[in-house]
Amino acid sequence: MDFECVHMVVRGVVQGVGFRFFVVHAARRLDVAGWVRNAPDGSVEITAEGGRGSLRDFVADIQRGSVGATVRDVVVSRLPYQGTFKTFEVRY
């Protein structure tokens, strides 16, 4: 299986609406590891690693967003896969 890593910055109405917990649920469902956190500018930042197919589906879920959130923009950057993460967590 090919593994990849992505970093995402999600903008819109994504803080204070349960979006981080939606991200955690999606990651765990798709066997994606990494982290999510609120950024000071009102965006949400995500770094995730996983199999190519799982990561593709994860990014698609993030782009669709959750109930209560309004995703306006997702900037996805590909990073070298490191195998750093074992779980998916919320960072504060």
Q: Is 20 a catalytic residue?
A: yes
Query: What pLDDT is stored for residue 43 in this prediction?
Result: 98
Q: Is 72 a catalytic residue?
A: no
The hierarchical CATH code for the domain 3-90 is 3.30.70.100
Query: What pLDDT is stored for residue 4 in this prediction?
Result: 97
- pLDDT category at 53 given cuts 50, 70, 90 is very high
Whole-model pTM: value is: 0.96
Q: Percent of the chain scored above 90 by pLDDT?
A: 99
**Cα–Cα dist 14/27, whole Å:** 17
Which candidate in 11, 20, 28, 56 is catalytic? 20
The pair of structure tokens assigned to 28 is: 């765990």
- pLDDT category at 24 given cuts 50, 70, 90 is very high
70 pLDDT above the threshold of 80: yes
Helix (H, G, I), strand (E, B) or coil at 23: helix
Contact status, residue 62 vs residue 8, Cβ threshold 8 Å? yes
Question: Could you state, in order of their start, the residue ranges of all structural domains in the chain?
Answer: 3-90
Which candidate in 11, 37, 38, 56 is catalytic? 38
Over range 15-30, report the average pLDDT.
Answer: 98
1 pLDDT above the threshold of 90: no
